Chains A and B, each alone.
Chain A
Amino acid sequence: MAGTKKVLVIGSGPIVIGQSAEFDYSGTQACRALREEGVEVVLVNSNPATIQTDKETADRVYIEPLTAEILERIIEREKPSGILATVGGQTGLNLAMELHRKGILQKHGVEFMGTDAEAIEKAESREKFNVTMRSIGIPLLPGQIVHDFESAKKFAEKIGYPVIARPSFTLGGTGGGTAYDESQLKDILDLGFRLSATGEVLVEKSGIGWGEFEYEVIRDADGNSVIICTMENFDPLGIHTGESIVAAPVQTLSDRDNQMLRDASIRIVGAIGVKGSCNVQFALNQQTGQYVVIEVNPRLSRSSALASKATGYPIARVATKIALGKKLHEVKNAITGTSAAFEPALDYVVLKIPRWPFDKFSKSNRTLGTMMKSTGEAMAIGRTFEEALMKAMRSLDVKPPKAIRPQWHLNPATDQRLYAIFEALRKGMTVDELNKETKIHKWFLERVKGLVALETEIANTNQPLTPELLLRAKRNGFPDSLIANLKSMNELEVRSLRKKHGILPTYKIVDSCAGEFEAVTPYYYSTYEKENEAIPEAARKILVIGSGPIRIGQGIEFDYCCSHAAFALRELGIKSIMVNNNPETVSTDFDSSDRLYFEPLVFEDVMNIVENENPEGVIVQLGGQTSLNLAHRLADAGVRILGTQLEGIDVAENRERFRELSEKLAIPQPPNGTATGDGEAHRIANRIGYPVVVRPSYVISGRGMAIVNDDNELTAFMAGAAEISNGSPVLIDKYLDNAIEAEVDAIGDGKDLFIGAIMEHIEPAGVHSGDANIVLPPLRMSKEARKTIVEYSEKIASSLATVGLINIQYAVKDNKVYILEANPRASRTVPYVSKAIGVPMVKMAVRVILGEKLKNLKPSPRGKIFAVKSVVFPFLKLAGTDISLGPEMRSTGETMGLGKTFELAYYKALMAAGVSMKQAGNVPVAFLSLRDEDKKMVPELAKVLASLGFEVCGTKGTVEGIPGACPIPKIGQGSPDVLDTIRSRKVGIIINTPRKGGSSSTDGFKIRRAAIEQGIPCLTNINTAFEFLKALKELKDKPLEVRTVEEWIQ
């Protein structure tokens, strides 16, 4: 590989369930590692909210759809000599393999860097993997590759149910599951065959209840191998490792057990021929000592990100150097200055807990299994398992359930199982009983039991809170707030009692060597010990509060912002201190900031850092709602909040105060009122008339927001909304039908305002801005409306005394501009805007926050192009969920399309979001089913479709009277009915606009689910549909133009 000068790196695209921020982290590290070696890096990723797509990370950055044809065009343009397939998740790996299979790489002389196609094939193809394992005598669960249901059934009967079905080449266990009988097997396989890239599915004996273990290996071309991290799943086999609580290092294995799995890992990785990083998963029957290998990932993975953060070992960096042909011992360990050829020793316990989106998808099935449903994860570090567990739980930023019935969550497990275990132990269930029910290792259950016992001891009213007890509670990870709760005190009383007794946290370094060598990594975690290793430096320093686990509404965008703040501070010569708890991210890379505290993002833990470090101020506006919500308590404790002050934050966040401000500034709002109770809400709704939008205060991404059509719905919604809003007022405003929604991202310096961009939503107002397709510059808005938006934005920003970032949302109807809300913080569109206009908005905001003036900074947007942001949804993974959109955000990730025309940009953004343009372009049947309000548009829609060569069919109510259109019977009322038609894949595009969210028994719901499962583009909004067709018409047969971001915006 010597002499490789130019390498193509494939990113992982939008954040989806199973593929999150970890690939920005590993991809960014890989790009930097390549450039260190003098390699020119060509990067392709469709996700703008990534550090990887910053122009500082790679030489040539393409934000283009991740498809084989686009990549081929880029290869033709760039002529790279190598391709790095292993840092872009399953997406990057599958794409590289597709390019390989199609002969595109060979044709252009592009070689695999590191782990090559043959090795990838051996690891990813179930058939080849099984053969390889058998050839070296590594045990597997009895399993068989099947291509049709009959052979699956036969095999399942032979080995006995339950069986696990795993489709080949899919991500996060998509389409897989455990079947307890034939009908379940059929359901799983129906989906599995469609989703498997090769149409093959592995059916194997279920080892449910065995312990699950992971070994993270790095191997070089000479076969030198090291184990970077061992991990043990708290949840036994049967639950995807991404859905499991995971501890590192392994906790219940003897050295003999551990070495058995270590030996197997090294042999497996060797037999596959990995050159780089690989994750190996085992199941171990802890009653018999028998083990099997479950699967391997011959690439950087979520587990490798966790392993990196758990150990401090930069796996992506080292794996990339190995891909360039270096030997393990030739790579330097950046932490200790010694060689990278060693195995980290941990002197702490790491615990990861997944973060699930069920707060957003209350109707979805919460059962956990072999398919991933979680969007993100929180990690915590402690010197004991108990301490790490308690820290991880509060890092999730989730309210524990008020009441829980353990039996409903233990088996099968739900996302609430951990809480259920606590509760079951409180109610007197024994460890043995729990172990029988859940198969969770007794050692883990004993730890929870100890926590419950300690809880009881503290709660005992005869038991004074002695210094000894307080210290014991802290060493077991109990937060002050919990101790306060148990003792009927308030948190600050506990805090001061603690301080009085000198019970203060100490900070220890994550150094990869258990203290054996002097480490230079400024990577800390808190614990209650004797020695504090985080001695504050005497320098200018600022604390940046991160955004925690990735969840819907608070995704990678905020980590992007926090990372940029650290970079900006470094450029300014100020020490940055980062606090965050998400192991997947760039912000928690130890060299992103000057000091990293891997800690929960709650008041107590953040305040402790402030007291240890004494920074000159804290930036709260970049970590989403998590950090912003800490502002009040930090300020009350005397901490200096940098940027927009509390008063401004409060006016913007409190619906009532914001309504008053708008009135004072004479900025129109949709007719509205604020209510704290049900009665008040009804009075307002009836005054302004239904439909109305209900918006709670202080929420992220429309949590609890809804469009409400009548009194009954309002009553139902108020119950939930009031709780989410924590007693703050709820805004009820008139729903502006068919208004254009617009928003701005801007930077204020207290005097001037720099508007990065005015963005226009393609969907009408009412669809959450995070779920909308967005275009900049605006498409349909008049010049006058834009002028008004600028004017209003300036007024609002100045009234809020905005210093730093602000996002303001508007609705434009009949050329009149209404304000909807203002967010005095970074928004999720900031990275997208930054890239589209070529201005690093966050870095500039940080300079402004530190006192520089916009008039001196002179930001100047570049780019005369269209940039469209599109979104991806987790619907496929979450059964029982309707895909229609509303004011509550449900997307997990975003893509960006760039082009000289809107159509090109939009087409590429959708394509990047996985909308099958091929399906739409090649199967000339369109299926229509529209709500009553949209039916007037049917004739025009049919005309456009016809001009594109589509044959139109649809439900009777929709296509009746349209010449040439073919009505199809409703579900169950004829054959073939609507569902049969869609499932036969003879439909290229579905346009289905639902009346409102709700019952999953409606035909519309079933149609949309079927569309998702069949991968047919399904447009649920009439505007989106027209724009989509326009783009399709424009670009159907044309080669798509690709350029680097810099070229586009020049």
Chain B
Amino acid sequence: MARGGTRAVLLLQDGTALQGEGFGARAISQGELVFNTSMTGYQEALTDPSYAGQILLMTNPLIGNYGINAKDFESDKVQPRGFVVRNLSPDFSHMEAIEGVDAFLERYGVPGITGIDTRFLVRKIRTKGVMPALLATYEGDFDFKKLKVDFDYSGKDFVREVTTQKPKTFGTSGPSGKRVVLIDYGVKMGIVRELVARGCEVIVVPSFSTVEQIKSHKPDGILLSNGPGDPAILTETHKTIRELAKSHPVFGICLGHQLLAHAFKGSTYKQKFGHRGANHPVLERKTGRVSITTQNHGYAVDPERVPDGFEITHVNLNDNTVEGMEHKELPVFSVQYHPEASPGPHDSKQLFDRFVKMMEAR
């Protein structure tokens, strides 16, 4: 579809092999195969650092219709290691579009496959769970029988790959503005944008920053960002967070939420196939309000081991998983979902207001 003659194959760890048409870069790539059910927002998903180490499948069969624009970047590159769609649009048409998905992926060296039964793969993942896969694009004869899926997602520190190497500052705090240190585990720019829009100065620091380094910025609050991988292995950050939470308002998002749980002796587990999409209903227990949320995670906080001093404030209406928690005394709270949306519904943006208020109340 994208370019005549380019072929691709997707191999799964269980031996499943699907052949389709290739697009993007000519490459062989491995990662954990996950699916996202959001119907718009492929550009934001493709640039979301939480997809590091993964091959992303979009369940919406039509991808690329409105191309790629200059605005909807969540980071400065394509993050997943491969892209799987049912039907990549050979053309695109939108007033903001600057290039197509094919060219975009090629520029960032990421291979894609189109024309395959993606729903079959979704159903497989739903029953068997996420699994490692290999995506190869090629021209002409190619013996993919020799290829082997030998990738292992678990135990890898993907945060190291995506975090900023040195502090970066966004926005300026005006007279009443607050300074936020955002610990970057793979942050989506949407989070930064929301804080800046609320008059905050945001200092994005590396995930490996020490307590002292962070405190040296004199933050009014700490934001724990989203990011890829298993929160349990990031033991150093658990300690850092625990320490910071004693003295600062803290807002955790996604991986940041899971790390916060670990910091307070809670625990996380790997879900069968996670939550990735823009339609997850979350109930706020106290108010009975429902928000439709954007989510992208493969691990979740264990409700059986509620972190010390915390209570569960939000649950997922589909499967009752933990979606949010807050400390009973400290100004510390977190959500599993993405209040910055991008892509997805804007139902939860007031959480940033809440964080700003917490900083102001201090």
Q: Which residues of A contact B (CB under 8 A)?
A: 222-224, 226-227, 230, 249-259, 262-263, 286-289, 327-329, 336, 338-339, 341-349, 383-385, 441-443, 446, 450, 506, 508, 513-518, 529-531, 533
**Residues on the B chain within 8 Å of A255, using CB:** 38, 40-41, 43-44, 72, 342-344
Q: By the criterion CB–CB under 8 Å, are A442 and B292 in contact?
A: no
Q: Does B179 contact A (CB under 8 A)?
A: no
Residues of B within 8 A of A328 (CB): 290
Which residues does chain B contribute within 8 Å of A515, judged by CB atoms?
Answer: 35, 59, 119, 122-123, 126
> Which B9-50 residues have a C-beta within 8 angstroms of A?
18, 35, 37-41, 43-44
Asked if B91 and A254 sit within 8 Å, CB to CB, the answer is no
Q: A588 to B325, alpha carbons, bound, how many Å?
A: 43
Q: B317 and A384: CB pair below 8 A?
A: no
B305-346 with Cβ < 8 A to chain A:
317-319, 341-346
Please report the C-alpha to C-alpha distance between residue A1006 and residue B44 in the assembled complex, in whole angstroms.
61
Residues from chain A with Cβ under 8 Å of B292 in the complex = 226-227, 341-343
Chain A's nearest CB lies how many Å from the CB of B147? 20
B243 contacts A by Cβ under 8 Å: no
* Distance (whole angstroms) from the CB of B229 to the closest CB of chain A: 22
Contact between B123 and A253, CB atoms less than 8 A apart = no
Residues of B within 8 A of A336 (CB): 318
> Is residue B60 contacting chain A, with contact meaning CB distance below 8 A?
yes
A443 touches B86 (CB 8 A): no
Separation of A250 and B41 alpha carbons in the complex (Å): 12
* B145 interface contact, C-beta 8 A: no
Contacts of A508 in B (CB 8 A): 119
- Known interface pairs A252-B94, A348-B61, A531-B117; A222-B289 also in contact (CB < 8 Å): yes
Interchain CB contact under 8 A, A513 and B116: no
Residue B172 is within 8 A (CB to CB) of chain A in the complex? no
A-B contact count (CB 8 A): 170
Partner of B283, one of A251, A329, A348, A349: A329
Among A256, A262, A513, A517, residue most surrounded by chain B Cβ atoms (within 10 Å): A256
Quote the shortest CB–CB distance from A73 to chain B (angstroms).
Answer: 41
> Do B345 and A262 touch (CB < 8 A)?
yes
- A345 contacts B277, C-beta separation under 8 Å: yes
Question: A254-B40, A255-B344 are contacts. A347–B94 as well, Cβ < 8 Å?
Answer: no
B268 at the interface (CB under 8 A from A): no
Q: Is the CB of A339 within 8 A of B288?
A: no
Q: Is the CB of A345 within 8 A of B37?
A: yes
Given A226-B292, A531-B120, residue A343 in contact with residue B279 (CB < 8 A): yes
Name, among A259, A506, A514, the residue most crowded by chain B CB atoms within 10 Å (CB to CB).
A514
Q: Choose the segment among B62-70, B209-217, B231-239 that binds chain A (4+ C-beta atoms closer than 8 Å).
A: B62-70
The binding surface of chain B is classed by DSSP as loop
Q: Can you list 6 A-B pairs with a CB-CB distance of less than 8 A?
A: A253-B66, A254-B72, A256-B71, A259-B345, A348-B61, A506-B117
Q: Beyond A255-B38, A255-B343: 20 further Cβ-contacts under 8 Å? A: A223-B289, A224-B289, A249-B39, A251-B65, A253-B66, A255-B43, A258-B40, A259-B346, A262-B346, A341-B292, A342-B292, A345-B37, A345-B39, A345-B59, A347-B60, A384-B62, A514-B122, A518-B126, A529-B120, A531-B120
With A and B bound together, what is the CA distance between A224 and B348 in angstroms? 12
State the Cβ distance, A618 to closest chain B Cβ, in Å. Answer: 29
Shortest Cβ gap from B44 to chain A (Å): 6
Q: Count residues on chain B whose CB falls below 8 Å from chain A CBs.
A: 55
Tell me if B89 counts as interface (CB < 8 A to partner A). yes
User: Complex formed: what's the CA distance from A514 to B279 in Å?
Assistant: 11
The reply to whether the CB of B139 lies closer than 8 angstroms to some CB of chain A is: no
Shortest distance from the beta carbon of A214 to any chain B beta carbon, whole Å:
15
Bound: A258/B40 CA distance, A: 8
User: Of B61, B277, B343, B345, which is within 8 A of A384 by CB?
Assistant: B61
Instruction: Say yes or no for B95: interface residue by CB 8 A criterion.
Output: yes
Taking a contact as CB atoms under 8 Å apart, the answer to whether A259 and B37 are in contact is: no
Quick check: is B248 within 8 A (CB to CB) of the other chain? Answer: no
Closest 7 CB pairs of A and B: A255-B41, A255-B343, A530-B117, A514-B59, A515-B122, A531-B120, A345-B37
Are B40 and A349 in touch, CB under 8 angstroms? no
Pick the contact of B317 from A256, A257, A329 — CB < 8 Å? A329
Q: Which residues from chain A contact B280 at a C-beta distance below 8 Å?
A: 342
Query: Chain A residues near B122 (CB, 8 Å)?
Result: 347, 514-516
Q: Is the CB of B93 within 8 A of A531?
A: no
Query: Which chain A residues border B18 with CB–CB below 8 Å?
Result: 530
Measured CA separation A255–B340 after assembly (Å): 13
Give chain B residues whose Cβ lies under 8 Å from the Cβ of A384.
61-62, 86-87
Taking the closest CB of chain A, its distance from the CB of B35, in whole angstroms, is: 8
Is B96 an interface residue, CB under 8 A from the partner? Answer: yes
A347→B290 contact, CB < 8 A: no
Chain B residues, CB < 8 A from A262? 345-346
- Cβ of B137 within 8 Å of any chain A Cβ, yes or no, is no
A707 and B160 CA atoms in complex are apart in Å by 85
Indicate whether B258 reaches chain A with its CB closer than 8 angstroms. no
CB-CB under 8 A for A338 and B37, given A222-B288, A343-B292, A514-B60: no
Task: Tell whether B199 is near chain A: CB-to-CB under 8 Å.
Answer: no
Check: B267 CB closer than 8 A to any chain A CB.
no
Q: How far is the CB of A56 from chain B (nearest CB, A)?
A: 33
Q: How far is the CA of A891 from the CA of B81 in the complex (A)?
A: 60
A262 to B343, CA, bound (A): 12
- Set of chain A residues within 8 Å of B40, measured between Cβ atoms: 249-250, 253-255, 257-258
Residues on the A chain within 8 Å of B118, using CB: 347
In the assembled complex, the Cα of A253 lies from the Cα of B345 at a distance in Å of 14
A287 near B95 with CB under 8 A, answer yes
With A254-B40, A442-B93, A443-B92 given, is the CB distance from A383 to B279 under 8 Å?
no
Which residues of chain A come closer than 8 Å to B177, judged between CB atoms? none
| Complex CA–CA separation, A867 to B90 (angstroms) | 60
Name which residue of chain B comes closest to A531, CB basis.
B120
A517 & B318 in contact (Cβ 8 Å cutoff)? yes
Instruction: List, in ascending order, chain B residues with CB within 8 A of A339's CB.
Output: 281, 317-318
CB contact list, B256-301 vs A, under 8 A:
277-281, 283, 288-290, 292
Q: In the bound complex, what is the Cα–Cα distance between A518 and B124 (angstroms)?
A: 11
B40, B94, B344 — most chain A CB neighbours (10 Å): B40
| Closest residue on chain A to residue B59 by CB atoms | A514
B95 touches A345 (CB 8 A): no
A523, B317: Cα distance in complex, Å: 24
Contacts of B44 in A (CB 8 A): 255
> Please, how many angstroms separate the alpha-carbon atoms of A252 and B97 in the complex?
11
- Contact status of A338 and B279, CB under 8 A, knowing A254-B94, A347-B118, A529-B119: no
Name which residue of chain A comes closest to B71, CB basis: A256
CA gap between A255 and B42 in the complex, in Å:
8
The residue from A250, A259, A329 contacting B281, defined by CB atoms under 8 A apart: A329
Complex CA gap A255/B317 in Å reads 24
Partner of A349 from B59, B61, B345 at Cβ < 8 Å:
B61
CA distance A348 to B341 in the complex (A): 23
User: In the complex, A286→B123 CA distance in Å?
Assistant: 36
Q: Is the CB of B123 within 8 A of A345?
A: no
Assembled-state Cα–Cα distance A441/B290 (Å): 35
What's the least CB distance linking B273 to chain A, in Å? 8
Q: Which residues of A contact B277 (CB under 8 A)?
A: 345, 514, 516
* Measured CA separation A343–B118 after assembly (Å): 20
- A259-B345, A345-B37 known; A252 and B93 CB under 8 Å? yes
On whether A254 and B43 interact (CB within 8 A), knowing A339-B318, A383-B61, A515-B59, the answer reads yes
* Chain B residues with CB under 8 A of A252: 65-66, 93-94
A224 CB contacts on chain B under 8 angstroms: 289-290
The answer for the CA separation of A252 and B119 in the assembled complex, in Å, is 22
Q: Which residues of A contact B60 (CB under 8 A)?
A: 249, 345-347, 514
Cα distance A596–B176 when bound, in Å?
61
Q: Are B344 and A345 in touch, CB under 8 angstroms?
A: no
Which of chain B's residues 70-103 have a Cβ closer than 8 Å to chain A?
Answer: 71-72, 86-87, 89-96
Measured CA separation A506–B117 after assembly (Å): 11
Complex CA–CA separation, A429 to B345 (angstroms)? 40
Please indicate the chain B residues that have their CB under 8 angstroms from the CB of A256 in the complex. Answer: 71-72
Per-residue CB contact flags for chain B residues 165-192 toward chain A (1 = under 8 Å, else 0) read 0000000000000000000000000000
